[in-house]
Amino acid sequence: MIGKLRRRRSLGAEQFAYARGRTDRVLKVTLASPSLFANLWDPERAPSEYRTLEVFLADVAEIIREEADELEGMGATYLQLDAPHYTMVLDPRYRDFYASRGWPTERWLELGLELDKPGHR
């Protein structure tokens, strides 16, 4: 079934609960940054709910925020958004890849940074 994204279960709560039960040290939970998911969107294959990358990434960002809220409620004090793709645009092949999807580097970085900003809604 194709449709809007929704969170079916926690992405990191089980791992956090497991690790928390085995140490008294402060834990860091790493989540994929919303902008990382731009790599998974394809304008030619996107369902009607996600005809634009902005709409797709907004829903991804909401799912990541829900996850962060759950982890905070469980006592997680350090959350890291993993965003290795930002340095990829240093490579002309990746810049060309994003541009071919209608996302010149500057536009892609602006949207990504906005979505990855803490507290973005």
pLDDT for the residue numbered 55: 93
CB 38 within 8 A of CB 108: yes
Percent over 90 (pLDDT), the chain? 43
| pTM (two decimals) | 0.82
Note the residue count of the chain: 121
Transcribe 13-56 into DSSP letters: HHHHHHHHTT-SSPPEEEEE-GGGGGGG--TTT--GGGSSHHHH
Domain chopping of the chain, boundaries: 15-116
CB 76 within 8 A of CB 16: yes
pLDDT in tens, 29-56: 999 998 888 888 888 888 999 988 889 9
Residue 19 in tokens: 């690790």
